[in-house]
């Protein structure tokens, strides 16, 4: 179970951090009173792995209760739960500029103005800042740079963040609307016209052998795998968190299923989701 607690200065970028974590598969809860963190952690643990990654956002909107955060994190540690405390920070002048641009009210009220509110909040969070596992200063970050920083914290050396959906489909039932890349494999020999293969699918060895037992099919798959492996780091670098690859034949039962299976097997080390959209149609 992976817990992340996100806190920090108002206007520093906690919302963007939580959006990133949500896209990365975290179950996210915002504006959480610190006192219920241990109970929530125990509840998530007890659900038997349904939630593997959970993020709590806690900030000065909870008022004086923010001072209880470290005590409740201590309880978390005593219970044997691992967590990462992320503090999102920014310079005072940057925070002032952001608040003036958005025209939002600062959660800490002060008769002396916005800058005094920021200084009061910084003092309120000073002990938490000192205990943070990671401090992210967003003063000079673009959203893309913040995303890169978070990827380096959570996914450095892995492909866990990036989800690849590999979908076989039949053109006769329509192209998947959510596909980023579409590959048409109707140019290859169709097992549908072989009596002993017609009622089988690309998940059966006989169909797979029939489809892949030609030089052109093997060459196509080699080129497809090479291109996808070339493109994946570029999509990750761009900041995408998922990619849907559609592989289509006429009915979505034989050739597309076979080649989607082969592609999935070759993309070892990535977080993959294999979908055979139309394999049961026509039965």
Quote the percentage of the chain above a pLDDT of 70: 96
Mean per-residue pLDDT, 205-234: 94
Q: Residue 160 has what pLDDT?
A: 57
Question: In 3D, which of 167, 170, 169, 168 has the Cα closest to residue 250?
Answer: 170
| Whole-prediction pTM | 0.62
CB 4 within 8 A of CB 55: yes
CB 243 within 8 A of CB 235: yes
Q: Three-state SS for 34?
A: helix
Question: For the chain, what's the residue count?
Answer: 283
Question: In 3D, which of 85, 167, 90, 158 has the Cα closest to residue 127?
Answer: 85
CA dist 46 and 103 (Å) reads: 42
Q: Which of the four pLDDT bands, split at 50, 70 and 90, describes residue 201? A: very high
Ramachandran bin of 71, using left for φ above 0, alpha for ψ from -120 to 50, beta for the remaining angles: alpha
Q: Residue 283 has what pLDDT?
A: 62
pLDDT > 80? residue 158 = no
Question: In 3D, which of 44, 57, 64 has the Cα closest to residue 108?
Answer: 64
Outline which parts of the chain fall under CATH 3.40.50.300.
2-154
Mean of the per-residue pLDDT values for the chain?
89
User: Token pair of 67, please?
Assistant: 């001072």
CATH: 3.40.50.300, 3.20.20.10, 3.30.70.600, 3.40.50.2300. Which one for 2-154?
3.40.50.300
């Amino acid at each position: 179970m992976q817990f992340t607690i996100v806190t920090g200065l108002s206007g520093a970028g906690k919302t963007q951090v939580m959006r990133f974590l949500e896209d990365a598969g975290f179950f996210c809860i915002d504006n959480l009173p610190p006192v219920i963190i241990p109970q929530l952690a125990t509840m998530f643990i007890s659900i038997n792995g349904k939630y593997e990654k959970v993020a709590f956002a806690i900030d000065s909107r909870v008022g004086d209760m923010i001072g209880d955060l470290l005590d409740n994190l201590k309880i978390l540690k005593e219970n044997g739960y691992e967590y990462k405390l992320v503090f999102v920070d920014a310079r005072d002048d940057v925070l002032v500029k952001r608040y003036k641009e958005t025209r939002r009210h600062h959660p800490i009220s002060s008769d002396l103005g916005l800058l005094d509110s920021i200084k009061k909040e910084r003092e309120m969070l000073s002990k938490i800042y000192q205990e943070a596992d990671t401090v992210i200063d967003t003063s000079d970050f673009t959203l893309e740079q913040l995303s890169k920083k978070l990827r380096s914290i959570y996914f450095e050396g892995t492909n866990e963040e990036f989800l690849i959906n590999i979908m076989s489909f039949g053109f006769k039932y329509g192209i998947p609307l959510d596909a980023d890349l579409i590959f048409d494999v109707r140019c290859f020999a169709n097992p549908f016209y072989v009596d002993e293969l017609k009622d089988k699918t690309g998940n059966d060895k006989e169909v797979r052998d029939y489809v892949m037992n030609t030089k052109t099919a093997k060459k196509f798959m080699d080129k497809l795998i090479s291109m996808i492996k070339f493109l994946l780091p570029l999509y990750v670098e761009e900041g995408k968190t998922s990619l849907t690859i559609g592989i289509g034949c006429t009915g979505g039962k034989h050739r597309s299923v076979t080649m989607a299976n082969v592609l999935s097997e070759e993309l070892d080390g990535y977080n993959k989701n294999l979908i055979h959209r139309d394999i049961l149609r026509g039965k």
